[in-house]
Structure 1
Amino acid sequence: MSYGNTFPLWRAAAGDHWPAYTRHAFVQGLADGSLPRDAFMHYLVQDYIFLIHFSRAWALAVSKADTLDEMRHCAATVHALLNQEMGLHVKLCGEAGIAEADLIAAEERPENLAYTRYVLDIGHRGDFLDLLAALAPCVLGYGEIGARLAASDHAQTYAEWIGTYGSRDYQDLCHEVAALIDASVARRIGPEPQTSPRWGLVCERFTMATRLEVGFWDMGMTP
């Protein structure tokens, strides 16, 4: 799956960390239904907490943006996170007897804290592009995973999760975010970003966030 022009370059720069994330044993367990239910529920609870901080990071991007178009894109992403993606977590957890109040009160795992605070720290220290590089692995990685699993034979156990990230709506969001990244790169680095001395740093932001995604899956495997 390819979203835009910059994302494939960042994905390649991440090297083996990218398949370690998108083809993790947790992902395979979602595909074939072998992931233990308690591991999935543990992941959902932590991911609910993650999305709270992720929404804050996208809200921070609104204040970091240089243009109204950038602001609108980021604000729309915040809306989608708060009112759509988090709703999936509330629904699935509710069906398992976990109330939203329990999600809010859940203890945050260190792996979750490390990832979300890294993204927020990059957002506060860097500019709009730095923040997008740290945000991209989650948004576009889940899109890549969702599209691949939805297009292949998969067990029905986690079909709703797969269907959410493989859906037209989520894929459209990924293409919109990729276009936002491409425009941000052109605006802040120029038409040949790989020749800029700044290129290596934004690739490092993306790669570190990818590594933290691997740690998040690892956490999901050990409830």
Structure 2
Amino acid sequence: MMYGETFTAWRAGAAGPWHGYTHHPFVQGLGDGSLPREAYLRYMVQDYVFLIHFSRAWALAVTKAETVEEMRFAARTLHALLNEEIALHIATCAAEGLDEETLFAAEELPQNIAYTRYVLDAGHSGDFLDLLAALAPCVLGYGEIGLRLAGAKTGTPYAGWIETYAGEGYQQMCHETGRLLDGAIDRRLGASPQTAPRWQALQHRFETATRLEIDFWGMALPQ
């Protein structure tokens, strides 16, 4: 159970899409260095836009939370997104002549719109669990991908990206997110959540977000 019981169960329930997401050709290209630089930069620009919306989703999580601990976690995650993870995108793109103003003004591609609006709609139309189920594939999937690629130890030019998500700070955040998810599930669905009427709907949210992650990787690759 890398990041908790709930994540492990949802991951197993979406095994096919999850493998397609975490072993996507884009991901493999990051790991072995074969990903074209233009594809990486296209992804970085769109991921900056994505993280702006993702930050809004975590801000929404503060209002959907039922406990002070949940509120604090969502607020800490929002801070990390806006002031730490986005910094990687700004620095990488700045080296290629793209400043943050350009990133913020970038045209949002349809795959990005589909994914980010799905996550936000999950939060607006549902509760804290709906939002977490839609957020989890990105948060925890990147942690899993980072660890796997770091373990391969290939001399890729994308080592900085890999180190970000394989690093101690991000991995700690993934473990904390897994504990938050387990606690939120236990609080709302009880000690046997997989027998609860809502479980399958939450599983479906997780799988849908995972499929949208696949499309997000594909968005950056040459057509």
State how 1:124-203 maps to structure 2 within 5 Å.
124-203=124-203
The secondary structure found in structure 2 opposite 1:96 is coil
TM normalised by structure 2 equals 0.98
State how 1:58-97 maps to structure 2 within 5 Å.
58-97=58-97
TM-superposed deviation, 1:43: 0.1
TM-superposed deviation, 1:154: 2.0
The secondary structure found in structure 1 opposite 2:152 is coil
TM-superposed deviation, 1:161: 0.3
The secondary structure found in structure 2 opposite 1:16 is helix
The equivalent of 1:208 in structure 2 is 208
The count of corresponding residues between Structure 1 and Structure 2 is 223
The secondary structure found in structure 1 opposite 2:144 is helix
CA distance in 2, matches of 1:13, 1:190: 20
CA distance in 2, matches of 1:222, 1:208: 24
Residues 1:56 and 2:56 are matched in the alignment: yes
The secondary structure found in structure 2 opposite 1:66 is coil
Amino acid at match of 2:37: R
The equivalent of 2:37 in structure 1 is 37
State the Cα deviation string for residues 179-206 of structure 1 (Å, max 9, x = none): 0000000001011011111100000000
CA distance in 2, matches of 1:177, 1:206: 15
The secondary structure found in structure 1 opposite 2:191 is coil
Amino acid at match of 2:204: E
TM-superposed deviation, 1:218: 0.5
The equivalent of 1:11 in structure 2 is 11
Question: Which segments of structure 1 move beyond 4 Å, counting only runs of 4 or more?
Answer: none
The secondary structure found in structure 2 opposite 1:72 is helix
Residues 1:104 and 2:101 are matched in the alignment: no
CA distance in 1, matches of 2:124, 2:106: 26
Amino acid at match of 1:150: A
Amino acid at match of 1:118: Y
The secondary structure found in structure 2 opposite 1:154 is coil
CA distance in 2, matches of 1:186, 1:154: 40
State the Cα deviation string for residues 152-200 of structure 1 (Å, max 9, x = none): 2222310000000000000000001110000000001011011111100
CA distance in 2, matches of 1:114, 1:83: 25
TM-superposed deviation, 1:4: 0.9
Indicate the RMSD between aligned Cα atoms, in angstroms. Answer: 0.9
CA distance in 1, matches of 2:52, 2:93: 16
The equivalent of 2:221 in structure 1 is 221
Q: Percent identical across equivalent pairs?
A: 61
